[in-house]
Structure formats: C-alpha cells, structure tokens
A and B are shown apart, each in its own frame.
Chain A
C-alpha cells in the first residue's frame, strides 16, 4: 500500500515578476513503512517537494494523495488538521518550544492538536521518551539539552501522534558525526517498531547510506531512483 501517490507535480513561484519552476512533473509513489531519502544539491527542489508532501504548501498542478486523501483540495484549516492527525515533522534546527520541557514538547501535539486525555498523553509521551532514550531528561528545557538530545525529543514529538508519515528535512545537518549516526539508527529502529514511513530531504551521505530507496532531485525533477540493500 502506498502512503504517498504523487503524479506530475509542479510548483511554480513568482518572485519579483519572474516565474521560478521549483518542481517540474515529479511523480513518485512511496510505500507504507519505507525509509526513503530525496537527495540533491541546494535549490534542487527537495525541500519544496517535502513541503508539498507535508501539506505545508500546495502544488501548482498535479495529483497528490497522502495516506489515501487527496490533499490538494484541503484548505488551511483542513490541512492543519490533516497534518496533526497523519504527519509528523522533524526539522533541521529541532524547533522545540523553548518554554516547554522535553516532556511538554512531546506532549504538545497531544494537547494542542489531538486533545487527548491526560492519562493517555502521559503514557504515550513516557513510552516515546523511553524509546528515544530521553526519559531521564524529561524535565529539562531545550536550552539544557545537547543538539542530539533535542533531535531525539523532536523525533519523539513527531511520532507521538502515531502518524503514518514522518517528514524530516535535513535532520542531521546540525549534529556531529557520531550523534547523526545515532539519530539515524534511532529513526530506523522506530520505523521497524511502529511501521511509520520516514521520508528525508538531505544531502547527508550518512542518511543516504541508511535509506532503502534514494531519489535524486535535480532542477525540480526526479532524475534517479536507487534501491539500496
């Protein structure tokens, strides 16, 4: 079963009266539970593609189904609700909420997005903090955590809503080599345990090496697909 079905996606921006074609006819299907990476140089369109897949932006033309829903028809409110229910995000700069503790950051989507009962929230948050090895750091604020610890919390936050798809844009770019390997291994382990699909936009060779399928993006087009053992 495909969690993403994208057909002939285009995205054109108008900047100062000049049209910029960020994506041109991208078609891709992503099978549920896969661990894939879009790679390419800066400005190739991989982040734009991730934004479309994450319902943060709308394609100029083309078809896009995520988790079985045609997301091109969603308005702002519907798109937000869809993201909150079906998609998790991991950002390059972690993007934790500075005033909340690690526990509260992971809990945030369950409170403000999914409105889950307190007992269920506590159970799920503790499970995930334990899974990412941050249970003992749960009362610390982001400024008290290292980069790797922040990214672990961010991964827990992305998974706490039990999404079908996690999108990660350069998740290891701000981490040192060893931490980056640990984070990649952690995400892969969680994928194996919960079956969530992980999609990366990256040019980090460590992620590329860990991915099962690598798509090459160049000048807004998919120019290559490579399945790795």
Chain B
C-alpha cells in the first residue's frame, strides 16, 4: 500500500498545477460548506435561543384546541385546576425540566385615563416566568429589571404602546378586560417598566402578575392559558416533548384534553430553520458535484495521458486489480488532500470569525445577536468522508477503464 501511495503521489505531482487546482477547488468547496454550516448553525441557534429565552420557552402545554384559535386568546379554553395539577405532577416526574411558568393570556383595553387602546396581556408568576424566560429582564428598557417589576399591582408596558400613549415608568394605568362570562372588570396598575418587543417594534404584549389577572377576569379558581417549560438541555426538547405527550395526552389522540407543543410547533421561525437546514443540504450536494466533476476530469485525463504507461505496466505483469488500485488511490489522494486543506482553512476561518465577532439584528429589535459560529466534529467528519467517498466514486470509471486496457493496444497508443 505504501508503494501505491508513493506512486500515486508522484503521478499527481507530475502535473503539479492541475493537481493543485483540483485540490484547491475541492478545498474551496469544503471551506464553503463548513463555513455555511457553522454560520447558519450559529444564526439558527442564536435566533432560536432568543425566541425561546425571551417568551416562548422550550415546550408549552395547552388545552386541546387552544393553539388552533390562539389569535383570539379564548378564555374558555383555559387549563382547569385539575388539569394544572396533572401537568404539575407530570413535570415533577421529568428531571430535565428546569422551570415551568403558568400564564394567563387575554385581550384587554389599556387606558391612561386620557387615551385607551388594545393590548395583549400575559399574566405570570414573576419568579417562575423569569426562570422560563431568562432574557425577559434584558428587554426592560426603562424601570425595574427584577421580578419585583411584576409584583402585584404592577405592569410592564410594551414600548410601542408606551410611546404612543405617552406612558412613563411610575404612571398609573387601567387594564380593562371581559371575562369568559362576558362580565367586564378593570384594575388600576402602576407602570414598573417599559418592555422592548422580542421580535421588533410591533409588539403589543404587556406583563402583569398572575393574581391580578385572576382578579380582573374574576376567576373563581386557578386557571391558566398555558404552561411554558424550560429544559436544562435544549437538545432534549424532542425527547421530553414525547415523554410529556405520552403522559398527558396518553392514548387519547385527538380526544385527549391536553396538547404538548415544542417551540418549533409554535414559532414560524421553525420553517426558516428548516429552510436553513435544506440550504445546508443543498451546499453539500454542490460539494459532491464539485468533487465529482473535478476528480473525474483529472482521472480521465490521467488515464488518457498515460495509456502507454498503463500498457507497459500491464505487459510486465501488473495485475488488473493493481492497476485499478493505482488509479483509485490517486483519486482518493486528491480528495483527501482537498478535504484536509478545506478542513484546515475552514477551521481557521471559523476561528477568525469567533475572534472578530459577527453580529446581526433580527426582526428590527435593538438587541444585536453576536454569532458564535462553530462546527461539530460530526460535520467535519461527514464533509471529509463525503469528499473522499465521492473521489472514489469519481475515480472508479477511469480506473476500471485503465485496468481493462489490453496491453498490446495500450502499447501501440501514440
């Protein structure tokens, strides 16, 4: 094998410029794929973390049918006390759960005593909500960033509303809402902070204390619109989701009273994430095409230029399978050199991108997301194995052709 490699390397160096060009082309393809995968992965990870850490959580549990009519925030589809108890019990049995927050969501009228407008209110227990949405405090632009900002009698007002209504921290406002029986009630609240939207300037979501919502909506017992869950390890979302579904939905299927959703089922960004994954797949297909065409081209030329040499080595007794191996090894060497150069260059560029930080704004939010591109060992191995395997495939036809040449015909070749 050592001799095969030695001869293959010498043959590749025979046409140094051509071999270097081919290796460079393969390396460029590998670099492109690795950087795309690293950057796209970092972008996806950052945005998903922003969505889940700001408001969505990793998983949510609702009463069946709620998500289908979520735009109207129906109060008659709230989780009832018995269901909340069942959820609590289920969550206690799952060690991966880092925190859970019960929320009441409802449409309300927001009044400054001068003007009135519509608002979407999320009522929470502040300590539990901050555990599930750890980036929520960072969105408080003015005012209190501690859980005390959501103590009873206080409200975090969305920036858009605050600006439009001229509301400031320390003002008194009134939130008025209709409960599920049609009864209207209101409560005076103190503005404890102005809240930036998680996804841009268009948000109308304000936060109040859970018990204030119960009071406004005249709830006789504890009800909640949803339970948002944060896991210790994001990568366990699918597995924990399945486990909770099994416990809470049981074999009921569409007749089950509860529904467990992952963040991906609730956020439109999941589609973008899937598109990013598809683009990465497309990049890999492009890499396959680059390697296939470049290696095939070089190997076809190598066989064509060395017909007499093939005739000579066949005449002096080299077995066809050895001739086949000789050309396969040449193709593999090209692919291996290209993959190695590409991985090294790609790793260096990814490292540089981590030193000179790349930041992006998403959805018009003020918050800048600093991307930390990184590449899994699996992706590196996958790209390298793919390149080498495609190099073998590309070399097979020329190598087989070389091994099947009749020595007397090859020796006559001019």
A residues at B contact (CB < 8 Å) = 51, 54, 56-57, 76-77, 80-85, 87-89, 91, 93, 95, 97-100, 108-109, 111-113, 157-158, 161
Contacts and interface: CB of A to CB of B under 8 A. Distances in A.
Given A80-B318, A80-B320, A98 B14 contact: yes
A77 B321 CA distance: 9
Interface string B300-322: 00000000110111111111101
Contact of B317 (A51, A80, A95, A99): A80
Given A56-B407, A81-B317, A89-B316, 13 more contacts: A51-B408, A54-B315, A77-B320, A80-B319, A83-B316, A87-B317, A95-B308, A95-B309, A95-B411, A109-B317, A111-B3, A112-B3, A161-B317
B353 interface: no
Nearest to B317: A84
Contacts of B401: none
A157 B411 CA distance: 17
A97 B309 contact: yes
Contacts, number: 67
Contacts of A93: 308
Contacts of A95: 308-309, 311-312, 411
B7 interface: yes
13 contacts: A56-B315, A56-B408, A80-B320, A84-B316, A89-B315, A95-B312, A98-B309, A99-B10, A100-B7, A109-B316, A112-B322, A113-B317, A158-B316
B24 interface: no
A187 to B, nearest CB: 17
Contacts of B11: 99
Contact of B319 (A77, A89, A91, A100): A77
A109 B313 CA distance: 8
Q: Which of A77, A80, A87 has the most CB of B within 10 A?
A: A80
A57 B316 contact: no
Contacts of B311: 95
Q: Which of B309, B311, B317, B407 has the most CB of A within 10 A?
A: B317
9 closest pairs, A vs B, by CB? Answer: A84-B317, A99-B10, A95-B312, A113-B317, A83-B317, A56-B408, A111-B3, A56-B407, A112-B318
Contacts of A85: 317
Contacts of A82: 317
Contact of A97 (B13, B313, B408): B313
Interface string B20-52: 000000000000000000000000000000000
A97 B322 CA distance: 16
Contacts of A157: 316
Interface in B280-339: 308-309, 311-320, 322
Contacts of B315: 54, 56, 83, 89
Contacts of B411: 56, 91, 95
Contacts of A80: 314, 317-320
B319 A99 contact: no
Contacts of A91: 312, 411
B408 A57 contact: yes
B319 to A, nearest CB: 5
A140 B260 CA distance: 76
Nearest to B312: A95
B327 to A, nearest CB: 13
Interface in B133-162: none
A100 to B, nearest CB: 7
B14 A99 contact: yes
Contacts of A111: 3
Nearest to B6: A104
A209 B282 CA distance: 71
Contacts of B316: 83-84, 88-89, 108-109, 113, 157-158
A81 B320 CA distance: 10
B318 A84 contact: yes
A99 B318 contact: no
A64 B115 CA distance: 113
A93 B411 CA distance: 10
Contacts of A57: 408
A81 B309 CA distance: 18
Contacts of A97: 7, 309, 312-313
B1 to A, nearest CB: 11
A158 B146 CA distance: 90
Given A56-B408, A99-B14, A100-B10, A76 B320 contact: yes
A16 to B, nearest CB: 16
B311 to A, nearest CB: 8
B37 to A, nearest CB: 38
B262 to A, nearest CB: 59
A120 B322 CA distance: 21
Contacts of B308: 93, 95
Contacts of A87: 317
Contacts of B407: 56
Nearest to A76: B320
